[in-house]
Structure 1
């Protein structure tokens, strides 16, 4: 390693780990001491990363406000130094950090708000894929429906939540005062995806969430309808299954099955 490459490596380590050994190789200026000068780089590094987090989590920033978000962001920077040159991926671990780190773990709404924003960001960046349309279903023979399987769009993601995060997110998005964060009596279920170029989400009933999860796992339509019949109202199971499927197709949540080679 050349002296310059070593110096670059030591400089980077000093910024990332608070290792001050690099100060031995930095000169004081006419106006300021070396530790102050190096501190400017450290501060700028953390500030740039926190700014990137604000861009990825605008509603969490609105929810916490300047001071609290900055404090949280710097704690995340210290715990999760950037490992990639692309800042888009820096805050991917934020939901888990908020779940596991005090004092933030005492407020589940924070992790769930970060998780929902992450899922929406990921949906926007997900790879393109053709979408299943009603014309694709029209050509399927009636006897083939029992064995029909469905394929979720690459942008789709299912979240289980324990708070009223959907209501909080919607209020923040509409520049309204969010409701108080509360724990739900039963787990909430959210489906995230991209429709066209727009990230979307909606809350699901327990039954539809079950059907989506099982359909995403490859269970055929006939089995799904049988499961719906055991879930509630056997006589209406097929109609409910068809209704859920219609909604998924209309929302561009499915892709056509892969064609044989």
Structure 2
């Protein structure tokens, strides 16, 4: 890429090596433009070397689940930003100063908030960036993998969402995030029977799993009851 390039969508000047536009979030197509410099206040969304690709964020998810339906509901615990991700307007934060996990969580929040407000165009625009960002996180834990489940769910990719849930279950067969994520993946696929099966396993494991006091359960302790309620509705409706 040339020293200066412009976003093909909004013509915003981009730093060398940028993968996404820091104004509109569109993947960069390097189009050289006359050198136009912004002041030091410009947000560094792309950083050379080991930096995280473009990100932003603030999360919340909510969809009704009266029945096990092909369109999977969002994660009930997605109300607060992930630790270290911060809050407020993400465009005012220097994302280059964050760890890869913090930046990935921030973009996940952006996708979830957009979905919660019905802005699916934005949610689907940023979901691939979030998936790419989590791919830069070394040794992702169950919480990170569950976030990726949700990003693939937003994209409507049941196979990849299920693969991430299975990775959680491979390490811990009764992990609530793995079971709930697998159920959501099957809902996206349209296999309501398989989804209900995972929801029942979730309910059967719930008390013992919560008692384990895993860090991810403690972090999302306010959201877990909502997940249980969703699973109960999905199974009793059958």
Higher strand proportion (structure 1 or 2) = 1
Larger Rg: 1
Higher helix proportion (structure 1 or 2) = 1
